[in-house]
Amino acid sequence: MADVKFINLKKSYDETTILDNINFKIQDKEFAVIVGPSGCGKTTLLRMIAGLENITSGEILIDNTKVNELPPSKREVAMVFQDYALYPHMTVKENMSFALKMKKVNQDEIDKRVNEAANILQLSNLISRMPKQLSGGQRQRVAIGRAIVRHPKVFLFDEPLSNLDAKLREEMRIEILKLYQKLQTTMIYVTHDQIEAMTLASKVIIMNKGKIQQIGTPIEVYKKPNNLFVASFIGTPTMNFLKGIILFENQKLYLKSHDKFFFIPNFAFPLSDKYINKEVILGIRPDDIILDDSKIDVENKVEANVDVVELLGPRENVHIRLSSDKTICATSHSFNSTPNSKIIFSLNYPNIHLFDPKTQERIN
């Protein structure tokens, strides 16, 4: 058992609050990914769990035990740092053994654990090398190995893949998933890369400016983002946003935006009078813009011009110009859009997202 709980956690440096009102729980054996833009407080939160940073107020519980005052070595967590932090004068084996030697674990047990970790991470033939004789990906694996041998209750990863090139990052992402499936241990993984978060996490914690914005499974935060920040942070290409006025005419709801009328079915927007004739922001993912003529009924069609088309192998991104200063992006698999041509599209209405421009919160 190793769940991790945060109660009213706060971190300040002098007058500046870095993390505020952090309340959530990571279940035993969960792969929790904390994601958010640079500077939002991810590393600080991880370092507080590890005991490398003191807590201004609130509590961290590991296995229902308050760890605020517990030194790092007593917390049974192991952290993998972004820059690997290997000891340059030690071999791979010495790097991996070091923490266990410090804990006076006997040599047979150390050898057993190091061999086991080296096998899992395919490092067995590199065990006598120095860090400088390893590639970036291999160094990263040694850093992970150093955490594995400690048999921690919780693994903490701080952007472990950010120093690797795109291809290696993809490979290591799969390795980390395999490792998780093998070890079945609680993992807390920090990244600013939403794709990493979506592919690895069983639970995603989205942060911005020191505050939690939303917690959920990857599919939940993708399908039902709580607010504009989450909506724009999660998903590639990014969600399109259309600011407009909600109109109620002939018993039907419309959004008027950039001189176009977008039909809003009642089921997508439980009618609340307070939004009629008011400004709202409609969010629509590129995948939810329908370009196939045969699927668009007359009432819902919108006409505009294609601006540019990006070819991406299995699909293309069609950028549609709504006005001189507004384009929206649609994803297509049919490859028949040409720049500057007229296009008819419609929105996949069950999947529209509506936000209040003042509060930035979701309203449907």
Residues that bind ligand ATP (CB under 6 A): 13, 18, 38-44, 192
Residue 186 interacting with Mg ion (CB under 5 A): no
113 vs 173 by CB, closer to Mg ion: 173
Cβ-in-10-Å burial (0-12, 13-18, 19+) of 360 comes to: middle
| Integer Cα distance of 146 and 156 in angstroms | 12
Beta bridge partners of 254: 247, 263
Binding mask 56-95 for Mg ion (x = CB under 5 A): ----------------------------------------
Which phi-psi region, left, alpha or beta, contains residue 92 (left: φ > 0; alpha: ψ -120 to 50)?
A: alpha
83 vs 111 by CB, closer to ligand ATP: 83
Identify the CA nearest to 291 among candidates 246, 329, 249.
Answer: 329
Which listed option, Mg ion, ligand ATP, none, makes contact with residue 327 (CB within 5 to 8 Å by class)?
A: none
Which listed option, Mg ion, ligand ATP, none, makes contact with residue 204 (CB within 5 to 8 Å by class)?
A: none
Question: What is the nearest approach in angstroms of ligand ATP to the Cβ of residue 49?
Answer: 12
| Integer Cα distance of 244 and 249 in angstroms | 15
| Integer Cα distance of 218 and 222 in angstroms | 6
14 vs 325 by CB, closer to ligand ATP: 14
Q: Where are the beta strands (DSSP E) in the chain?
A: 4-13, 16-26, 31-35, 57-62, 65-66, 77-80, 154-158, 186-191, 203-208, 211-216, 240-249, 252-257, 260-264, 279-284, 289-290, 302-311, 316-323, 326-332, 342-347, 353-355
Question: What is the nearest approach in angstroms of ligand ATP to the Cβ of residue 81?
Answer: 11
- Please list, in sequence order, all residues whose beta carbon lies within 8 angstroms of the beta carbon of residue 355, skipping any fewer than 6 positions away: 227, 228, 231, 241, 280, 281, 282, 283, 361, 362, 363
45 vs 67 by CB, closer to ligand ATP: 45
| Integer Cα distance of 152 and 129 in angstroms | 25
19 vs 118 by CB, closer to Mg ion: 19
Which listed option, Mg ion, ligand ATP, none, makes contact with residue 125 (CB within 5 to 8 Å by class)?
A: none
In 10 A of CB 220, how many CB atoms? 14
| Integer Cα distance of 335 and 44 in angstroms | 46
43 vs 214 by CB, closer to Mg ion: 43
Question: What is the nearest approach in angstroms of Mg ion to the Cβ of residue 41?
Answer: 8
Which listed option, ligand ATP, Mg ion, none, makes contact with residue 139 (CB within 5 to 8 Å by class)?
A: none
Query: By CB under 5 A, what part of segment 23-52 binds Mg ion?
Result: 43
Q: 281 near 242, Cβ under 8 Å?
A: yes
81 vs 275 by CB, closer to ligand ATP: 81
155 vs 262 by CB, closer to ligand ATP: 155
Which listed option, Mg ion, ligand ATP, none, makes contact with residue 192 (CB within 5 to 8 Å by class)?
A: ligand ATP
Question: What is the nearest approach in angstroms of Mg ion to the Cβ of residue 43?
Answer: 3
Question: What is the nearest approach in angstroms of Mg ion to the Cβ of residue 8?
Answer: 23
Which listed option, ligand ATP, Mg ion, none, makes contact with residue 255 (CB within 5 to 8 Å by class)?
A: none
Question: What is the nearest approach in angstroms of ligand ATP to the Cβ of residue 192?
Answer: 5
The site for Mg ion, by CB under 5 A, has a size of 1
Structure tokens belonging to residue 299: 């009432």
**Strand, coil or helix: 32:** strand
User: Residues in the site for Mg ion, rule: CB under 5 A?
Assistant: 43
